[in-house]
Structure 1
């Protein structure tokens, strides 16, 4: 998601954790590309399941959701997902019933990157762009990338593609004509002869395309 209103409208019951395997399922709702209604009756809101390879990430989600549920007054979890953290002298993690405001959410990614020491101009949209770029560079098919980013057309998701340094180098190697072997060997031979003439050495010091025959 990139829009601040999408983050502001997130609810706790849109996230489901499963331990076998350790995964998180996100159930999307109306957003920029999916408004619902008769015109989009053939389109379903996106559902994304992420299987964790790092258990620490799973535990972060699990702990946060448990803490928020402790202060929730709705059994169905239809309350805001983002809550204000509370300062605690005993270093206990607690959150307020009050949700984060629009202004705070709009600067959330920027604040995270600054505290992490990342330099550059970052916004909430940077997360979506980074997601699409990393999947593209890993060779993931466009259809699968669209399933994660929520794009409805290939043309839209292609705008987010950014080639990596390795990919650019590979393309350059393919397009650049190979240097001819004979030319390289000739240059090496001429360079060796010039070195011998300066140093006064005698005899053969380099052999190129030679056939040796020994008779006893």
Structure 2
């Protein structure tokens, strides 16, 4: 496709789209080529006459419309900012702020919005809240759960342009002391041991998953399980959202002197949101393991590619696809559908395959990630390297 007529111009993103099979379009990688072709249609490149400036060009109005989007209203801009926030964090913030609101209305008759309460009054309310709040069933919170309330309330106040931080500023020293005292009391009572935390997988657990057919390439479910397991364990992805937003072009097969490997190009994550200086220092790699073809990351990735519909092999195609149910299509060797896998199914991959393999313990999607971090640390990998892989903000991994 050498002519511009073979492409579609996406005005919203100012890029040309190249055609893939079945009219599926994806962004052209070499946008510079498209821009050069576009330039050749309007002027002779050998001309020595200077280009007209923005104020004199007869096409400047069209160029401006193509390059600059309409100015957003304040509500529209706030909506776009909200869309980029972590959904789980936003929901947790709303829930915990609502609990504090309910407490202050019922216990102190304080009905002012949080961001309208003077620091001295808010500090006193928070000090009492941290010491007295309990779960719905009347039991005490875990120490970290109380600290989560503090972080959520501080996050909410920042969003409302409150001019003080309840975590850092001197005006909230009393509430911080109250929280610290309550945490110490709870720890003395045996709280804080996190009895419900996810367990890491043992090597024996992994063997059972392979032997039971939950990991491998023998079925569509096994391929999805293994691809997800490798992405989480080898690249440190979080168990749900980071998988859900992946596209096919995020993982590529490459080769160097050591052999073939998968390379992962990270998108936005919970702790790395694309700000300058807040990105991975390296693109993680997972080398082929020829002696273990059932879970070899390169071998499984190639098998997954082979079983995908042709239209779902473009870089912008969803990475995780729904499993095909049509017998006729399955007989042709295509095991997956041309549509993304549902979020709920991705969320429960570990639980489903561990149940099928008869594994015991608190095993959730987080277990695969925890397995990766635990084994790296036990193998003597420096904590800062582990933090880079896992995406933790601190070295307390």
Contact 1:110 1:124 (C-alpha < 8 Å) held by counterparts = yes
Cross-structure match for 2:358: 117
Q: CA deviation at 1:119?
A: 1.4
Instruction: Give the gaps of 5 or more residues in structure 2.
Output: 1-236
Cross-structure match for 1:51: 287
What TM-score do you get using the length of structure 1 for normalisation?
Answer: 0.62
Q: CA deviation at 1:93?
A: 4.6
Q: Distance in 2 between matches of 1:50 and 1:146?
A: 17
Residues 1-216 of structure 1: pairs in structure 2 closer than 5 A: 1-20=237-256, 21-36=259-274, 40-45=275-280, 47-54=283-290, 56=293, 57=296, 58-68=298-308, 70-72=310-312, 75=314, 77-87=315-325, 88=327, 90=331, 92-155=333-396, 157=397
Secondary structure at 1:47 match in 2: coil
Runs of 4+ in 1 over 4 A off after TM superposition: none
Q: Distance in 2 between matches of 1:27 and 1:130?
A: 21
Secondary structure at 2:317 match in 1: coil
Secondary structure at 1:16 match in 2: strand
Instruction: Give the gaps of 5 or more residues in structure 1.
Output: 158-216
Cross-structure match for 1:166: none
Cross-structure match for 1:205: none
1:27-61 CA deviation, whole Å, 9 max, x = no partner? 1011101112xxx3112246211112336212111
Contact 2:320 2:340 (C-alpha < 8 Å) held by counterparts = yes
Q: CA deviation at 1:117?
A: 2.6
Q: Distance in 1 between matches of 2:290 and 2:360?
A: 26
How has the CA–CA distance of structure 1 residues 93 and 43 changed in structure 2, closer, same or farther, with 3 Å as cutoff?
same
Secondary structure at 1:154 match in 2: coil
1:83-112 CA deviation, whole Å, 9 max, x = no partner? 112144648352101111111111111112
Contact 1:17 1:24 (C-alpha < 8 Å) held by counterparts = yes
Q: CA deviation at 1:64?
A: 0.6
> How many matched pairs?
151
1:143-178 CA deviation, whole Å, 9 max, x = no partner? 2212321223102x1xxxxxxxxxxxxxxxxxxxxx
Contact 1:109 1:123 (C-alpha < 8 Å) held by counterparts = yes
**Alignment RMSD:** 2.2
Secondary structure at 1:139 match in 2: coil
Secondary structure at 1:7 match in 2: helix
1:182-209 CA deviation, whole Å, 9 max, x = no partner? xxxxxxxxxxxxxxxxxxxxxxxxxxxx
